[in-house]
Structure 1
Amino acid sequence: MTSNFSRRTLLRASALTVLGGSLSTLEPSSLRAETDQPVDADLLLQGGTLYDGSGSEGLVGDVAIAGERIVAVGRFETGRVGRTIDCRGLIVAPGFIDLHSHSDHQILKPELRGNPCRLMDGCTTVVTGNCGVGQLDVAKFHAQLDENGAGTNIVHLMPHGRVRGAVMGTVDRRPTPDELDRMRRMIDEGMQAGAWGMSTGLIYLPGVYADTDELVELTKVVARHGGIYASHIRGEEDQLLTAVAEAIEIGRRAGAPVHISHFKANGLPNWGKIRDAAALIEKARADGQKVTADQYPYDACSTWILPILLPVDETPGGYENLLERMKADPELDQTVRNVIRRQLGRTRNVLIAQCEIETYRNRMIADIASAENRDQVEVVIDLIAAGKTRGINFSMSEDDVRYGMSLPWVGMGSDGEGVLAAPNGQGHPRAMGTFARKIGRYAIEERVISLAHAIRSASGLAADIMGLDDRGYLRPGYLADITVFDPATYRDQATYDNPLVYSTGVRHVLLAGNLALAEGTLNERLFGRALLRPTKRMGGGQ
């Protein structure tokens, strides 16, 4: 194996320049490896512009791979080479890491375990168990993944909501000492089985009923194993600042790195507040605390219709038998309607992404109400009665989205499930296009951020956050999880009108040296596996 190279040996020049919205090579500098010996390789990625995941600008060079690992990066003499892939004009980057995925259940299904929506977007690893939901039995989940295979690697978090629900159900109270001990033991077992931390969903049942002290005590268990605390915080609207402060407090008191999921300021009155939330995080970071976040590059969020338009903490008695109780209690009925009306006034509109009422699918609530000459609140109550309704909430500011992606501690998370391409499908386009959208649109086309910054947020930063010590960078000795894409065509194609369309422009994706995608075509073999957290390895870097 060649020795590590130093960037001090590199010639300084820009590898790529933006002309008319596309990338062109202009006398790119070369990346010279520090070895005089010929390098043998099973696979050579030749002549691409290499972005190594550190945030440094791209430089032309080669990547040599032997077995599962990278053995040389830069310009070097080659010995025996099994196969060469011409990467001239292409970007070669570390495989992208989706810090916030909800593909826990889909990744086990025969038709979805290949995770094509992530591979076609350039991802090699996804983090599951987010928002306090997902697979509870970590050992069983890992065994199923390794037995049946997966298209991408999986990094799993212990879901606090599932833990609390298993011990306490959905009751609104503090745990007893015995219940708290049972939750501690469950989390400890999950961490021993290789989970990388614990997630919370503090707007969802039953996580909404957990107080700060409970979360601190459970996060202490995570901290002893070197894991992170990843939180869908208690509020992203009016409560944003107090919710961010609570997450920071939990990490500080428990001694664990904090990671804030899908960082945003939600609701029209809160536009711009993301800067105040970022200031809280940067103050904690300046004080030595490890605090990071992830983001998807869209101005609409998506979840079940109830949390969007009727937060459970503002619903007397919660959601159980709600409609029956409203019929019997005029005061409750009016309270619920007032909350729904207020929430509707805080968004540009809500698109129905999933619904049992077929004629409402893929339509805006306002348009449905107008067409039926009804109050929007009545439409929402019908949707609640129908059940299983998901909405896409156009409640975020584009300026806030652009600001968030510029922050050096914000990685990328799709917040999407595992899905297949389908015409006229339902869902949020983030499940298909998160990485191509940020890198292709915001970095390459619009230059909101640099390409080096965008790639780092998807690779090296994400690996540092999770504590993945041998992924996320193009470095000798690292596992060969690599994405190769065409900067001229790497773009998201999924839209709100047609959300289940794969991204374009990814040419090759390697998992541990294996071509999971070659020349844009998916391999039928599955090379992903469950990644287990090594003992006492602390994540939360950067």
Structure 2
Amino acid sequence: MMKRKILLGAMSMLPLLLAANTPAPEYDIVVRGGRVLDGAGNPWVSADVAVKDGRVVRIGRVAGRGAKEIDAKGRYVSPGFIDMMDQSGRVLVKNGAAENKLLMGVTTVIAGEGGPPAAATEIPAHFKTLEQQGISVNYGTYYSATQARVKVMGDGAGSPTPAQLEAMGREVKIAMENGAFGISSALIYPPSSFQTTSDLVTLAKVAAQCDGFYATHMRDESEGLVQAIEEAIEIGEKGGVKVEIFHLKAAYAPGWGKLMPQAVATINAARARGVDVAADLYPYTAGGTGLEIIAPSWVWADGVEKGIERLRDPKVRERMKKEVAAGSMPGWSNLVHASGGFANVRLANGFSDKYRPYHGKSLAEIGKVLNRDPADVAWDILLEGLPNRSVALYFMMSEQDIETAIKQPWVSIGSDAAASEKAGEMDALGLPHPRAYGTFPRIIAEYVKRRPVLSLEDAVRKMTGWPAQRMGLTDRGLIRDGMRADMVVFDLDKLDDVASWDKPTASPTGIETVIVNGVVTIANGKHTGAKAGAVLRHSCGV
């Protein structure tokens, strides 16, 4: 009996003895045997990738063990994707998980078309909140020139006095010193549309003191596309800043096949003479924005409240209908005209029970059912949905033009979508557009796999190394020794964007693992709950 007890005791000690003799893991993570795409456009190499303390520390044959081992045999390993036009600034404060972004392989988002959800002086507090609560992606933002304008002179039309323009410049300087990447504009929307080229040059000069950007949703993406690009380039040249054109598109059906080649030629000519101008895009033929864009800009010239009052006035509506039918006018892009008519404008979200049955139908169809003019339908839905912003899908672009643009080496990828507060639901903009769930996998699934527009290496470069270089993120965007360990493991054969116009919140397939700052955040296609994302602050250099 005594011998049996001694034997059992010795056996119970065996696991402890073996553990004591097993060397501790040398790395936090080792991704084994994948086809590694470095993000710079080079061909893949077969290698292991070791990660320690949030950084890549070895690429090649890794003999040491990782605390976590990931088998990537037969799959591709790339840097994490960078969303160059994100809309998540506000929702990340509510929920930092950003699950729909991560499931696309996105590890870094650059937000701020409308600026951060904070005044210039409050940007540090905004950043601190995100850091304290935790976010699952890396986040950087622009500061909107419109934020500065509204603070100084309200939301109406009019030219700023020299003193007011100087005050706006002070707001920009504060924002830049607090970590903004530059100034942004959305010149298609009032009150941003009330800003002149000269005003923006003045504010760009302030951003230039911190080597910042002028990032713009241009004044016109339709018939006046080339002129709008020329304006953006002028602001960059005179202001001394880098220019980023948001969601480059030729959103004008009569100009398909003609405007985009002209736009590309204009940008290439500016780059040839030394202007640092580039663009991003999303790979879809429809844009998505509010119904308020169907009202001419003069409606909003005295502010939002007066604009709403005008929309309720039948006599004002008669004038507005004539202008919608006439096409675009100076200071206003008529997206109905650009789409080829109300038949190509589809209600996405009316934010009311009354119009919910009509989601997914065109304004022309809704007008026919209700026996109403489609323009009246648009404005009725807008008013009914207040205080929310009712949104529509505007089918304005052609696949031919998307291909022309996406081939340009200076084009990166931006979703123009927000993180979803709840996974599987609409993004925080309330816009059911497939770009919120499908943009990045679609670049590979559609333009590498389904049609030979891009090589896999170049597609990955457009989503990783190029945008990181563009934004000055010198320690991200590449898989190289010492770089931050933001990585994606995907199965090329299974990779598909899935999200469609009918099912816009469907998650992609084929993306198995996503690592953010050396922490596994998506494992086997599921969010782990990790919040290893970082706030990215642009350095002002002062």
User: TM tier, shorter chain?
Assistant: 0.7 to 0.9
Decide which of 326, 329, 338 is 2:322's aligned counterpart.
Answer: 338
Identity of aligned residues (%): 34
| Contact kept in structure 2, 1:139 and 1:190, CA below 8 Å | no
2-structure distance, mates of 1:422, 1:477 = 35
Aligned ranges 1:88-99 → 2 under 5 Å: 88-99=73-84
Change (3 A) 1:328 1:371: closer
2-structure distance, mates of 1:326, 1:201 = 22
Q: CA deviation at 1:370?
A: 2.6
Structure 1 stretches lacking a partner, 5+ long = 1-38, 538-542
2-structure distance, mates of 1:265, 1:132 = 25
The answer for the alignment partner of 1:362 in structure 2 is 360
Aligned ranges 1:333-412 → 2 under 5 Å: 333-341=317-325, 342=327, 343=334, 344-347=336-339, 349-355=344-350, 356=352, 357-386=355-384, 387=386, 388-412=389-413
Check if 1:178 corresponds to 2:163. yes
Decide which of 299, 308, 332 is 2:285's aligned counterpart.
Answer: 299
The answer for the alignment partner of 2:458 in structure 1 is 453
2-structure distance, mates of 1:276, 1:225 = 32
2-structure distance, mates of 1:188, 1:315 = 28
Aligned ranges 1:43-58 → 2 under 5 Å: 43-58=29-44
The answer for the alignment partner of 1:498 in structure 2 is 503
Check if 1:129 corresponds to 2:112. yes
Letter in 1 for 2:346: L
1-structure distance, mates of 2:367, 2:383 = 16
Choose 1 or 2 for highest CA Rg: 2
| Contact kept in structure 1, 2:489 and 2:514, CA below 8 Å | yes
Letter in 2 for 1:346: A
Spell out, residue by residue over 1:279-321, the C-alpha distance to the aligned partner (whole angstroms, 9 max, x if none).
11101111111111000000000111121x2341587767653
| Contact kept in structure 2, 1:222 and 1:256, CA below 8 Å | yes
Letter in 2 for 1:155: G
How many correspondences in the alignment?
A: 494
1-structure distance, mates of 2:313, 2:514 = 58
Q: Secondary structure at the match of 2:382?
A: helix
Check if 1:269 corresponds to 2:264. no
The answer for the alignment partner of 2:270 in structure 1 is 284
Check if 1:531 corresponds to 2:536. yes
Letter in 2 for 1:289: V
Q: Secondary structure at the match of 2:338?
A: coil
Q: Which has the higher helix share?
A: 2
Decide which of 516, 520, 528 is 1:515's aligned counterpart.
Answer: 520
Aligned ranges 1:126-275 → 2 under 5 Å: 126-132=109-115, 134-136=117-119, 137-272=122-257, 273-275=259-261
| Contact kept in structure 1, 2:516 and 2:533, CA below 8 Å | yes
Aligned ranges 1:468-479 → 2 under 5 Å: 468-479=473-484
Q: Secondary structure at the match of 1:65?
A: strand
Letter in 2 for 1:42: D
| Contact kept in structure 2, 1:217 and 1:254, CA below 8 Å | yes
Q: CA deviation at 1:426?
A: 5.5
2-structure distance, mates of 1:41, 1:529 = 21
| Contact kept in structure 2, 1:167 and 1:179, CA below 8 Å | yes
1-structure distance, mates of 2:302, 2:526 = 52
| Contact kept in structure 2, 1:41 and 1:80, CA below 8 Å | yes
Q: CA deviation at 1:328?
A: 6.0
Q: Secondary structure at the match of 2:241?
A: coil
TM-score, normalised with respect to structure 2: 0.86
Aligned ranges 1:98-113 → 2 under 5 Å: 98-109=83-94, 112-113=95-96
Q: CA deviation at 1:240?
A: 0.9
Letter in 1 for 2:515: L
2-structure distance, mates of 1:250, 1:42 = 47
2-structure distance, mates of 1:351, 1:322 = 23
The answer for the alignment partner of 2:417 in structure 1 is 416
Spell out, residue by residue over 1:313-360, the C-alpha distance to the aligned partner (whole angstroms, 9 max, x if none).
587767653465477684x43330023334534325111111123233
Structure 2 stretches lacking a partner, 5+ long = 1-24, 328-333
Change (3 A) 1:53 1:303: same
| Contact kept in structure 1, 2:172 and 2:206, CA below 8 Å | yes
2-structure distance, mates of 1:187, 1:446 = 44
Letter in 2 for 1:460: G
Decide which of 432, 435, 441 is 2:437's aligned counterpart.
Answer: 432
Change (3 A) 1:327 1:456: closer
The answer for the alignment partner of 2:68 in structure 1 is 83
Larger deviation: 237-246 or 39-48? 39-48
Q: Secondary structure at the match of 1:517?
A: strand
Change (3 A) 1:133 1:320: farther
1-structure distance, mates of 2:191, 2:176 = 21
2-structure distance, mates of 1:160, 1:385 = 27
Letter in 1 for 2:415: S
